[in-house]
Amino acid sequence: MKPAPLIFERASSVEQAIGLVSECKGYAKFLAGGQTLGPMINLRLAQPDLVVDISRLPELHGVVDKGSHISVGGGTLHADFEDAVVPDPANGLLCKVASGIAYRAIRNRGTIGGSLAHADSAAEWPSVMMALAARVVIHGAAGSRTIEMSEFIQGPMTTVLADEEIIVAVEIPRASAAMRWGFDKRSRKVGELAHALVVVVRDNQKCSVVMGATGGAPLQLRHTAGVLADAKGWREGIERELRSAYETDIDAAQLHLDEYDRHVHGLAVIRAGKEAVA
């Protein structure tokens, strides 16, 4: 289908972009790569009156090494992570994850800021950034603020962002050299959004396990993480322990999964867990 009529404006600064959206009387949207908004506009699921192109704003590009973390611009492309144009503070996890997002032509336009703002639970960045305890740096009409990933996403495709707020950067903690990760994405076809998605990050006896594709916000699996934190190698019996901890986490979260989904997510937990431990 073709988009409904809209006004297209390219912003020349973050401040101007915020102003354009704030002052718009109708429905206004920021446009980054357009790899999510574009399909929605073409299908007329979204019919904004005004689209403000922020894809070339210099403030949204570049990487700053801050020692304990790196700060990547909100406009950083998936392909930049894939090609390691952006240094990977997570021992290769970002590069691995990015290479499995959609297809190359989409990774050449899609951005981390757009992915986090859209907050689809089946997308990679929300879960991965949560597992890495990243922070989101936001600018809006009322000033700027920095929010922990664990508080940024509130529900299915719902974040703390106000309409006129822009993700200018994502602060990703630098992992220790000993950090081990595991990542498993299940989908029927290469490049599709995930049917099941699990990421494990183990650093210094601390472990974080996040499950995506829940239909809601990404879910921290705390019992599962407890089993993996203590694990010394992939010993016998650990798979059973993991499975039972995972079941406890799912029940505690009152996540309603049918038998098949429960099984597929469980499989992703085991595979990601094994990768992070073995």
Partner 1 sequence: MNEIGMTLNGRKVQDRVEGRCTLADFVREQQGLTGTHLGCEHGVCGACTVLMDGKPVRSCITFAAAADGSEVRTIEGFDDDKVMAVIRRAFSEEHGLQCGFCTPGMLITIRDVIERGVATDQKAIRVALAGNICRCTGYLGIVRSVQRAVALLEEGSQQS
Ligand X SMILES: Cc1cc2nc3c(=O)[nH]c(=O)nc-3n(C[C@H](O)[C@H](O)[C@H](O)COP(=O)(O)OP(=O)(O)OC[C@H]3O[C@@H](n4cnc5c(N)ncnc54)[C@H](O)[C@@H]3O)c2cc1C
Question: Is residue 5 close enough to count as binding partner 1 by CB under 8 A?
Answer: yes
**Residue 95 identity (one-letter amino acid):** C
**Cβ-based nearer residue to partner 1, 80 or 171:** 80
Structure tokens at 75: 């406009």
How many residues sit close enough to partner 1 to count as binding (CB under 8 A)? 31
Question: Is residue 212 close enough to count as binding ligand X by CB under 6 A?
Answer: no
Distance CA 13, CA 95 (A): 29
Reduced to 3 states (helix: H, G, I; strand: E, B; else coil), residue 71 is strand
**Cβ-based nearer residue to ligand X, 117 or 172:** 117
> What is the footprint of ligand X within residues 34-93 (CB under 6 A)?
34-37, 39, 74
User: Burial code of 22-46, b = ≥16 C-beta within 10 A, e = fewer?
Assistant: eebeeebbbbbbbbbbbebbeeeeb
User: Burial code of 121-145, b = ≥16 C-beta within 10 A, e = fewer?
Assistant: bbbbbbbbbbbbbbbbbbbbeeeee
Question: Is residue 200 close enough to count as binding ligand X by CB under 6 A?
Answer: no
- Phi then psi for residue 55, to 5 deg, are -65, -25
Distance CA 213, CA 197 (A): 6
Residue 2 site contact among partner 1, ligand X, none (CB < 5 to 8 Å, cut-off depends on kind): partner 1
* Rounded-to-10 torsion of CA 154, 248, 131, 180: -170
Question: Is residue 159 close enough to count as binding ligand X by CB under 6 A?
Answer: no
Residue 136 site contact among ligand X, partner 1, none (CB < 5 to 8 Å, cut-off depends on kind): none
CB of 39 vs partner 1, minimal distance in Å = 4
**Residue 124 identity (one-letter amino acid):** E
CB of 103 vs partner 1, minimal distance in Å = 3
> What is the footprint of partner 1 within residues 18-57 (CB under 8 A)?
31, 34-35, 38-39, 41-43, 51, 53, 55
**Cβ-based nearer residue to partner 1, 80 or 165:** 80
Reduced to 3 states (helix: H, G, I; strand: E, B; else coil), residue 167 is strand
Reduced to 3 states (helix: H, G, I; strand: E, B; else coil), residue 218 is coil
C-alpha gyration radius of the chain = 19
Residue 8 site contact among ligand X, partner 1, none (CB < 5 to 8 Å, cut-off depends on kind): partner 1
Question: Is residue 104 close enough to count as binding partner 1 by CB under 8 A?
Answer: yes
How is the chain split among helix, strand and coil, in percent rounded to 5?
Answer: 35, 25, 40
> What is the footprint of partner 1 within residues 160-199 (CB under 8 A)?
189-191
CB of 10 vs partner 1, minimal distance in Å = 7
Identified binder of ligand X from the candidate list 11, 14, 20, 30, rule CB under 6 A: 30
Reduced to 3 states (helix: H, G, I; strand: E, B; else coil), residue 50 is strand
**Cβ-based nearer residue to partner 1, 56 or 66:** 56
Query: Contact positions toward partner 1, by CB under 8 A?
Result: 1-8, 10, 31, 34-35, 38-39, 41-43, 51, 53, 55, 79, 102-106, 108-109, 189-191
